[in-house]
Amino acid sequence: MSVRHRTIRGGRTRLRAAVPVLITMSLASLSGAQLVSADPPPTARTMTADQARASGTAVGVRRHAESAGEVLELQMPAAIVGTSAVGLPANERARRDAARFLGTARNGAIAIADGIGDPHAGISVTSADGSQAHTALSGVAGAAFAADGSWLAAVDAVGRLWRIEAHTGAPTQLAAGPYTGSVHFTRAGELLLVEAASSDSTFPSAVVRFNPATRRATVVDKEDGFVFSATELADGSTAVTAHVFGGGVAVRRVTDGSSDLLASLGSNAVDPSLSGDGSWIAYSAGGTVYLHDVGSGSTRGIGRGEMPRMAADGGSLLVLRDGRTALLATDGAELDRFAAAAVGWGSCGEGCRP
C-alpha cells in the first residue's frame, strides 16, 4: 500500500487527453508551410497560490511512496472534472481525465494540459509552492519538462513546437512542425519528436532529434507507417512504436541508424509503454492490459484496464480501471488503488513538498 502525505495545493486546469495516434492522423496531410500562422503568440498569466485557492480552481497533489517510485495523484476541482468529456463513454472519460497529467520536473513543478483542438484550451504549470502559470496554447498535444524544470517543450493542436517558461508561462515558438503529441527529452537535452508527414514526404511520419538551442532537427528513423511515439532507453537507443502498413503495431529499437524489432503487438494494441531498458512492454487491447516480455517473446494478459504506464524498473505499472487508477504488479495483482484517474509517476524527488 502507499504512504499518503499531506496535500499540496496550487494550479489551474481544464484539460483534455492527448492521444498520439489521433494527432498523427489529423496532421498527416499538412505541410510545414501550411501550419505557419500570422496569429499572435498565445497569452500567458500567473497566479499565486493564494489566488489559485481563492479562484476555486486550485489542483491538489497527493504523493504516494510506492516500491517502484513516487506516484502523484491530482485532485481536480469539482467544477472542472469531466467537463471536457461530457457525453463520452466511461472508458474514454477516464482516459481524458488521466491524460491531464503531462509530467513532472525535479523541482516539483507539474504540467497539466487543458485539451486538444479547443481554442480556449491551454497548459498550466503548478510549482511546488502552489503558484501557477497558464499559457493559452491552442490545444496541447503533448509536453515535457527540460532537465532543470525551468521550461517545457509543448506541441499544440496543429503540430507547432513551443518553449513554455515554467514560472511565467511565456511562450516562444521553436518550430512549425507538424509534430505529434509524442514529446520526450533525451539525457543530452535534445527533444525526441515524431514529425508528421508533409505533402512531399514519402514516409507517413519520422522520428527526429531536435536541438532547442540551434532549432535544427536530425532524422533518427523513418517508418512505412504511422509512428505513435519515440522514447530514449537506458542504453541511449531509441524505442519507436509504429503501426506498420499491412501489419500491426511494432516496437523497434533504433541505434545509430540500425533497427531491431523488439515486439509485434498486434493491430488492436493501443498505448504501449516500455520499461526504462525496453525489456518489458505493456499495452491494452479491448479493455485488457497485456505485458510483453521482450527477452522470451511471451505475452500474457494481466487484467482489465486501459492506458498502462510502466515503472522505469519494469516491476509494476499504473492502469486506468473503473474510472480510477490502479497500481499492478507484473502478475496482475493489485498493489494499490487511487481515488482519482489523474495519476502518474513522479520524478521530482526532493523537489516535491511533503
Domain that holds residue 194: 8-351
**3 in a structural domain:** no
Is the entire prediction scored with pTM above 0.75? Answer: yes
Number of domains in the chain: 1
Does the structure show a pLDDT above 50 at 204? Answer: yes
Alpha carbon distance 283, 249 (integer Å): 10
The label of the residue with cell 498550466 reads: 124
**197 in a structural domain:** yes
Please write the tens of the pLDDT for every residue from 35-58: 344 578 899 999 999 998 888 778
**88 in a structural domain:** yes
Does the structure show a pLDDT above 90 at 23? Answer: no
The predicted pLDDT at position 19 comes to 33
pLDDT, mean of residues 139-163: 91
**222 in a structural domain:** yes
**216 in a structural domain:** yes
CATH number at residue 171: 2.120.10.30
Alpha carbon distance 271, 36 (integer Å): 30
Vertex 149: Cα angle to 251 and 46 (nearest 5): 120
**1 in a structural domain:** no
Residues 6+ apart with CB under 8 A from 204: 24, 28, 196, 197, 223, 224, 225, 226, 227
Alpha carbon distance 231, 243 (integer Å): 16
Going through 127-185 in order, the beta strands assigned E by DSSP cover 132-135, 140-145, 151-156, 161-165, 171-175, 179-185
Does the structure show a pLDDT above 60 at 134? Answer: yes
**94 in a structural domain:** yes
Please write the tens of the pLDDT for every residue from 45-101: 999 999 988 887 788 888 888 887 888 888 877 544 444 555 666 666 666 666 578
pLDDT, mean of residues 123-150: 89
**299 in a structural domain:** yes
